[in-house]
Amino acid sequence: MSTVGIIGAGAAGIFAALESVRLGRQTLLFDSNPSIGRKLLVTGAGRCNLTNAKVAPGQYACADRDWIAMLLQSFGHPELLAYLHELGILITSTMDGWFYPASYSAATVVDTLAATLAERKVDTVLRARIISVERTGDRFNLTDARGMSYEVDSLVMACGGKALPDLGSTGELFPILKKWGHSVVPLRPALAPLEADMAPYRTLAGVRLDAMARLFDGRKVLGETPGNLIFTEWGLNGPAVMDLSHLIHPGNSKDLRLELDLIPNCEAEFLDLLDRRSTSSIPLKTVLGAVLPPKVPPVILAMAGLDPDTRARQLNGKERDLLIRTIKGLSFHITGVRGYKYCQVSAGGVPVTEVDPHTMRSRIVPGLFLTGEVLDVVGPCGGFNLQFAFSSGVLAGRAV
């Protein structure tokens, strides 16, 4: 019987192990943690955002979106929902298509997966941090930090990138992949908060709202995303900006700027209200309060050079245009991305073009399969990255 080794008991590794053992292979699942699914436990703020109704190739950043399309054709969103149902993980979804376990608990998902691994007799080796992998003939020899050695016929790398290092992701096995001939795009934090010069916005700390965020490098638009965000003392957090963080890397200039459109969903209504109040003595900050949280209007007025006590009828045409431009283009100088400790995933890793999208089989190293964050793939917040991890894990487990 062929022996399969899987490094990493996260989403991709667990699903690879479930498929491998289901198809009759002796399966060893290694993880440096004392229990499986440590990163799964913190996904979706502990609620486990499993997938998204909008999963599609265009949502992912990678070297080849056609590659993502082929992967999703082999195992996509509908297949994952059916697979989870078979495992006994019941699903619910929000109005905007974010899918969660019906329990809204990542702990119950991990508990079900652990019980299924045990029932299917996957040999789970915990507290085993693999530090060395050597190829001997057609086999792989693995050594962990305790000095224990294991020999396997096929190897699935599901060991993640560098996100959340306290949960075991260190990226320390990428040099082995480079030694074997794979390319490795330098890793960087992704789905991370952005650090910015917040001096003009200190009073907004703690404010949460929906916005359209646009990231600029000089005059070049790097990307834009809608979503919720929160102002902090050090920068901006939330999906609207986290979905742009993978676009920030050492190749950018020092002129990185973020613009926020604070009324992307109600611009027409606000402009109509502004016109209807053009002869009113109502304070302008009260008019702005119809679409913005209470702390925001005073900042907008100050940025537009208007007195905080300005009345709606006092607004002339030039001032009105400047006010609207400020609301729709609040500007921040971006100074960096919060580190791996604060990001949900890391960008970088092996380019997808070096792996078969139907099987996750390496095109360079016989018997090697690469999944999840080992590959240079980033999706937005909302379950897209877990979908990719599950999909790539299943396909590797079936083909290994």
One domain, residues 147 and 33: yes
Q: Going by DSSP bridges, is the β-strand pair 3-7/256-261 parallel, antiparallel, or unpaired?
A: unpaired
pLDDT of residue 253: 87
274-309 exposure pattern, b = at least 16 Cβ within 10 A, e = fewer? beebeeeeebbbebbeebbeeebbebbbebbebeee
Is 91 within a domain? yes
Cα–Cα distance, 144 to 229 (Å, whole number): 41
122 is a domain residue: yes
In the chain, what is the straight-line distance between the N-terminal and C-terminal CA atoms, in Å?
13
Domain count, the chain: 2
The pLDDT score that the predictor gives to residue 125 is: 97
CA distances from 143 to 5, 34, 62, 94 (A): 12, 18, 31, 44
180 and 226 housed in the same domain: no
Q: Residue 287: enclosing H or E segment and its boundaries?
A: helix 284-288
**Phi, psi dihedrals of residue 340, rounded to the nearest 5°:** -60, -30
* CATH code (residue 198): 2.40.30.10
Claim to verify: residue 155 and residue 304 sit in the same structural domain:
no
Same domain as 202, residue 182: no
Show the domain range for 294.
193-338
In this structure, are 183 and 198 located in the same domain? no
Token pair for 192: 């991370």
Q: 271: which residues sit within 8 A by CB, 6+ positions away?
A: 324
Could you give the CA distance from residue 327 to residue 344 in angstroms, rounded to a whole number? Answer: 30
**Same domain membership, residue 144 and residue 28:** yes
Please indicate, yes or no, if residue 305 is contained in any of the structural domains.
Answer: yes
Tell me, yes or no, whether 344 lies in a domain: no
155 and 198 fall within a common domain = no
Residue 3, CB-side half-sphere exposure with 13 Å CA sphere: 13
Which token pair is 222? 């790097």
Q: Tally the residues of the chain.
A: 400
CA nearest to 364, candidates 142, 187, 179, 131: 179
Query: Are 161 and 45 in a shared domain?
Result: yes
CATH code (residue 95): 3.50.50.60
Considering the domain boundaries, does residue 343 fall inside one?
A: no
pLDDT tens track, the chain, 400 positions: 689 999 999 999 999 999 999 999 999 999 999 999 999 999 988 999 999 999 999 999 999 999 999 999 999 999 999 999 999 999 999 999 999 999 999 999 999 999 999 999 999 999 999 999 999 889 999 999 999 999 999 999 999 999 999 888 889 999 999 999 999 999 999 999 999 999 999 999 999 999 999 999 999 999 999 999 999 999 999 999 999 999 999 888 889 999 999 999 999 999 999 999 999 999 999 999 999 999 999 999 999 999 999 999 999 999 999 999 999 999 999 999 999 999 999 999 999 999 999 999 999 999 999 999 999 999 999 999 999 999 999 999 999 9
Same domain, residue pair 202 and 294: yes
Identify the pLDDT of residue 1.
67
Indicate whether 40 and 90 sit together in one domain.
yes
Burial classification of residue 77, based on how many CB atoms lie within 10 Å of its CB (0-12 exposed, 13-18 middle, 19 or more buried): buried
- In this structure, the answer to whether residues 203 and 58 fall within a common structural domain is no
Measured distance CA(292)–CA(51) in Å, rounded: 31
Tell whether 323 and 376 lie within a shared domain: no
Q: Is residue 366 part of a domain?
A: yes
